[in-house]
Amino acid sequence: MTLFVGLGNPGSQYENTRHNIGFRVIDKLVDNSSARDISKTSFQGKLNRASNSLFLKPTTFMNLSGKSLQAVKHFYKVELDEIIVIHDDIDLPFGAVRFKKGGGHGGHNGLRSIDTYITKEYLRVRVGVGKPEHKSQVSDYVLHNFSDEEAKVLDKLIAHVAEACKLLVSEELNVVKSKYSLKTIEGLSI
């Protein structure tokens, strides 16, 4: 059983923010797989299932994402190496896509929460959202919508990441890295 976890914040005011790119990828995966909603209150998130895949959007808000992930992991007895977390990354330029197993949270509160609840040894799909000029602007920056320019190519980027996620189930990490890693949005054939 593979558990895909998209990070974001619940509520329409956050829907199109940079911080919610993980939620948007999960929505795409759910749409593409005709998954059905199997949410329970105890999961503290919206959970969908299609055959051997689970798709989770924690509704705990970003800083407590690990709580929801841990509940689903335990209920379905999902192994650490079957967990794929999709999240925004300000240390990558907009449109960059990277994959890695384990590592630090890099100041990302959603990852920090997950690390606390289930350890660091899960697979991460890092989606670059760019970074603000000053470190003090980070929380404001990630909670703002994508720019009009970025919004024009966002659907293509989300589709690209969703395709990569599907492939992670059946292919080695290095194969997916070589096919789907992007340095910038220019690497995406639009």
Dig out the tokens for 165 from the structure: 């996620």
* CATH number, domain with residue 182: 3.40.50.1470
pLDDT above 80 for 2: yes
Query: Residue 67 belongs to what domain range?
Result: 2-187
Number of domains the chain is built from: 1
For tokens 């949410």, the residue is: 39
8 A C-beta contact, residue 179 and residue 187 = no
Report the interhelical angle of 65-76 vs 109-118 (nearest 10°).
40
User: Which whole number is the average pLDDT over 74-90?
Assistant: 97
**pLDDT for position 34:** 86
Higher-confidence residue of 180 and 187: namely 180
141-186 pLDDT, tens digit per residue, is: 999 999 999 999 999 999 999 999 999 999 999 999 999 999 998 8
- Residue 190: pLDDT band by 50, 70, 90 thresholds? low
Q: Mean per-residue pLDDT for 100-126? A: 96
pLDDT in tens, 45-71: 999 999 999 999 999 999 999 999 999
Catalytic residue among 19, 87, 108, 160: 19
Query: For residue 121, what are its two tokens?
Result: 């040894």
Contact 37, 64 (CB under 8 A): no
Q: What confidence tens digit (pLDDT) does each residue in 22-39 have?
A: 999 999 999 999 899 999
**Mean pLDDT, the chain, whole residue set:** 95
Active site residue 144: no
Does the predicted model carry a pTM greater than 0.85? yes
Q: Tokens 């040894």 correspond to what residue? A: 121
- Quick one: how far is CA 2 from the chain centroid? 14
